[in-house]
Amino acid sequence: MSELFFLSMPSRFGTLCIVWQVFSGQIKIRRIFLSNEQIRSAERTKAWFPRVQKGSCAEVEQLALEIRRFLMGEDVAFDLEMMMFEECSAFQQAVLRTEHAVPRGKVNTYGRIARHLGQGCPRSVGTALARNPFPIVIPCHRTIRADGSLGGFQGGSAMKRTLLEFEGITFTPDGTITSEHVFS
């Protein structure tokens, strides 16, 4: 296996880390770690990949720029070509690719994804998204619970809500999202 590298980048939501490597002659993204109230992305990166080294390249710098633009509220269409899906199960890959298709300004529910795939249950979809190795690139912040409440997110609920607000999602006074925003 080739060496692992990470690029650390500041954002309005705390530091993010992009873990990458050269795999079969191509740059591949292994994981993207977000910071949250409990753990910083650098700590999570070192816990998952103890031998990871700081490093960058043009492709990873470009991805970091796109993520930074997205986190500032810009509409960015992320390409999945560099993402290393090989470590995801077939079911998780299907969930992640389905989630990637949800457009900006729309949300999906765990149950709707399960029904779309014709397999699994909302809880297994939730588990697949909770283990999303590429948050932001795969916009798992766009999946909510059936009752319109946010559900979980690696970056925390405040970040999830802010990202959705950037995308034009409105919330009711009790903090839920109305069905008009659900992707069909």
Res 120 pLDDT > 80:
no
Q: Based on the domain organization, do 37 and 97 belong to the same domain?
A: no
- The answer to whether residue 78 is domain-embedded is no
Q: Based on the domain organization, do 111 and 57 belong to the same domain?
A: no
The total domain count for the chain is 2
176: CB partners within 8 A, 6+ apart: 147, 148, 149
Q: Based on the domain organization, do 18 and 96 belong to the same domain?
A: no
**Last residue within a domain, chosen from 12, 46, 71:** 71
At 113, which CATH number?
1.10.10.10
Q: How far apart are CA 175 and CA 181, in angstroms?
A: 14
Q: How far apart are CA 30 and CA 50, in angstroms?
A: 14
pLDDT at res. 173: 95
| Percent of all residues in the chain with a pLDDT value above 90, rounded to a whole number | 90
Q: Based on the domain organization, do 151 and 96 belong to the same domain?
A: yes
pLDDT in tens, 46-69: 999 999 999 999 999 999 999 999
Res 176 pLDDT > 80:
yes
Please say if 88 is a catalytic residue.
no
Q: How far apart are CA 74 and CA 160, in angstroms?
A: 15
- The answer to whether residue 105 is domain-embedded is yes
Res 1 pLDDT > 60:
no
pLDDT at res. 145: 95
pLDDT in tens, 90-117: 999 999 999 999 999 999 999 999 999 9
**Last residue within a domain, chosen from 45, 71, 97:** 71
Which one of the listed residues 17, 88, 121, 140 is annotated catalytic?
140
Q: How far apart are CA 152 and CA 130, in angstroms?
A: 7
- The answer to whether residue 135 is domain-embedded is yes
Strand bridging mode 53-54 / 4-9: parallel
